[in-house]
Amino acid sequence: MSNNNIQIFDTTLRDGEQVPGCKLNTDQKSVIAEQLDRLGVDVIEAGFPVSSPGDFKSVEAISKIVKNATVCGLTRSVQNDIKVAAEALKYAVKPRIHTGIGTSESHIVHKFKTTQEDILRRAFDAVKYAKSFVEDVEFYAEDAGRTDNEYLAKVCEVAIKAGATVLNIPDTTGYCLPSEYGAKIKYLKENVKGIEKAILSCHCHNDLGLATANSIEGVINGARQIECTINGIGERAGNTALEEVVMVLKQHPYLNLDTNINTSMLYGMSQLVSDSMGIYTQPNKAIVGANAFAHSSGIHQDGVIKNRETYEIIDPKDVGVTNSAIILTARSGRAALAYRAKNVGYELTKLQLDEVYANFLKFADRNKEINDNDIHQIIETSKVYQEILSA
């Protein structure tokens, strides 16, 4: 792995699956895991094995089938969680245990009702115990986003001493500003003793719509792993969207940060997750939404038909979408109508187009969107139809 390679840690099957109303069975999870492996993710967080027999079974099944990616299981800083995770991961070619504990004042005082010192001790013991099962141990400092940086650095030091290979810095509540999250990563890079023995990981939630921006600031400031989900699904407002961070890095090559993702599989992956979970993707969702490459205003359509790059920063084929879509509505111009008419077999002259366009506008005022059948009807009911046919 080069120093500029960003590891993609997919948690669709763990944090993503915590989305209300979703429950995947082991077979569905296995299909998604196999596709994630083909997509090129580096780590698949397959579940939280101690949480239910079903989750245990899924992590075990995924461990058996994944060929390339590391397979990871989540635990609390509790010995039994770790033992059960190790058992579920025993068939994995590359197993990872992801253990951790809350580190913010809010978590220490209200959730654990304990002290900072006790949390340090529990973090150390959990990583040490996980290391007795697997070499690859990731530690998460839950609510790191709201944890004081000086204390967070101590937690990271303790985890590294116990053998952690990855330090996850979650903005669990999605609170941080990008500048703040980036500064946190920079602070840890500069102040944690032994930091060269581990990589820092961004795990951002989207409560303020900043998950992607925060993850990107994280890697610009030295983190080398991003934790994310397909379509950005997850609890509350969700997690960082995999397709977004991957495409941000691809479309900004001067950042000199890359991933191992085969981006042409992103659209198919998004559809698979959305169909399996029964969770509809909003049409304006970046990269994979139905409207991400659709143009409906006349000015934009005219530009895109002349040259796609006038209004598109991504070639749709790069993410697995066959074509940019020219949507015909009452706001469309002649260029869009001529383009769509040509697609269904009519090459119109300028005069014919003027005539058909007048008919189109009357039709479009009565209908939200004009489909291919409507185009045939519009042309067939135009005064110039016979002339078009005889051409």
Return the axis-axis angle of helices 149-162 and 116-131, rounded to nearest 10°.
Answer: 30
- At residue 30, the 3 state secondary structure works out as helix
Of residues 343-372, those binding ligand KIV (CB under 6 A)? none
Choosing among Zn ion, ligand KIV, none, which partner's interface includes residue 139 (Cβ < 5 to 8 Å by kind)?
none
User: Rounded CA gap, 244 and 284, in Å?
Assistant: 13
H, E, C per residue of 332-369: CCHHHHHHHHHHCCCCCCHHHHHHHHHHHHHHHHHCCC
Between 176 and 336, CB nearer to ligand KIV: 176
**Residue of minimal Cβ distance to ligand KIV:** 170
Choosing among ligand KIV, Zn ion, none, which partner's interface includes residue 142 (Cβ < 5 to 8 Å by kind)?
ligand KIV
Q: Taking the complex as a whole, how short is the minimal distance between the CB of residue 12 and Zn ion, in angstroms? A: 12
Of residues 141-200, those binding ligand KIV (CB under 6 A)? 142, 168, 170, 172
Residue whose C-alpha is closest to residue 139's, from 129, 126, 148: 126
Between 172 and 221, CB nearer to ligand KIV: 172
CA atoms within 13 A on the CB side of 116: 12
Between 168 and 359, CB nearer to ligand KIV: 168
Kindly write down the DSSP assignment for every residue of 289-348, as one continuous string: STTTTEE-SHHHHHHHHH-GGGT-SS-GGGGT----EE-B-TT--HHHHHHHHHHTT---
What would the x/- binding string for Zn ion be over residues 124 to 153, using CB under 5 A?
------------------------------
DSSP H or E run through 174:
none
Please report whether residue 55 would count as binding ligand KIV according to CB under 6 A. Answer: no
Between 163 and 238, CB nearer to ligand KIV: 238
56 token code pair = 């245990």
Task: Tell me the torsion sign for CA atoms 360, 366, 372, 377.
Answer: negative
DSSP H or E run through 140:
strand 136-142
Q: Out of 15, 138, 217, 355, which residue is the one contacting Zn ion (CB under 5 A)?
A: 15
Between 235 and 318, CB nearer to ligand KIV: 235
Between 10 and 15, CB nearer to Zn ion: 15
- Binding part of the chain for Zn ion, among 10-18, 27-35, 64-72, 187-195 by CB under 5 A, reads 10-18
CA atoms within 13 A on the CB side of 153: 15
CA 163-65-131 angle, 5° bins: 10
User: Rounded CA gap, 294 and 317, in Å?
Assistant: 13
DSSP H or E run through 137:
strand 136-142
**Residue of minimal Cβ distance to Zn ion:** 15
What would the x/- binding string for ligand KIV be over residues 200 to 219, using CB under 6 A?
---x-x--------------
Between 119 and 202, CB nearer to Zn ion: 202
Please report whether residue 12 would count as binding ligand KIV according to CB under 6 A. Answer: no
Q: Taking the complex as a whole, how short is the minimal distance between the CB of residue 308 and ligand KIV, in angstroms? A: 38
Please report whether residue 140 would count as binding ligand KIV according to CB under 6 A. Answer: yes
Between 163 and 170, CB nearer to Zn ion: 170
Choosing among Zn ion, ligand KIV, none, which partner's interface includes residue 301 (Cβ < 5 to 8 Å by kind)?
none
Between 19 and 86, CB nearer to Zn ion: 19
# chain residues binding ligand KIV, by CB under 6 A:
8
Sequence-ordered strand ranges (E) for 219-305: 225-228, 294-295
Binding site for Zn ion (CB under 5 A): 15
Binding site for ligand KIV (CB under 6 A): 15, 140, 142, 168, 170, 172, 203, 205
